[in-house]
Amino acid sequence: MNQESKLSFRNTGRISGLLYLVVVITGIFSLGYVPSKLIVWNDAAATFTNIVNSEFLFRLGIVSGLICYTFFLFLPLVLYKLLQPVHKTFAIYMVVLAIVSVPISFINMQNKFAVLSIINSGGQEKDLVMFYLNQYDYGNLIVQVFWGLWLFPLGYLIFKSGIIPKFFGILLMLGCVSYLINFFGNALFSNYSELGISSYVRLPASLGEIGTCLWLLIMGAKNSVISAD
Tell me if 19 is assigned to some domain. Answer: yes
Tell me if 229 is assigned to some domain. Answer: no
Tell me if 8 is assigned to some domain. Answer: yes
Asked if the model's pLDDT at residue 127 lies above 70, the reply is yes
Tell me if 225 is assigned to some domain. Answer: no
Supply the mean pLDDT for the chain. 91
pLDDT tens for each residue of 110-119: 999 999 999 9
Q: How confident is the model at residue 199 (pLDDT cuts 50, 70, 90)?
A: confident
Boundaries of domain holding 88: 3-219
Tell me if 150 is assigned to some domain. Answer: yes
Contact 155, 90 (CB under 8 A): no
Tell me if 224 is assigned to some domain. Answer: no
Tell me if 227 is assigned to some domain. Answer: no
Contact 158, 169 (CB under 8 A): yes
pLDDT tens for each residue of 154-166: 999 999 988 889 9
Domain count, the chain: 1
Tell me if 228 is assigned to some domain. Answer: no
Contact 196, 132 (CB under 8 A): no
Count of CB atoms situated within 10 Å of the CB of 160: 19
**Spatial separation of the C-alpha atoms in residues 59 and 27, rounded to whole Å:** 14
Asked if the model's pLDDT at residue 226 lies above 80, the reply is no
Q: CB neighbours of 142 closer than 8 A, spacing ≥ 6?
A: 104, 108
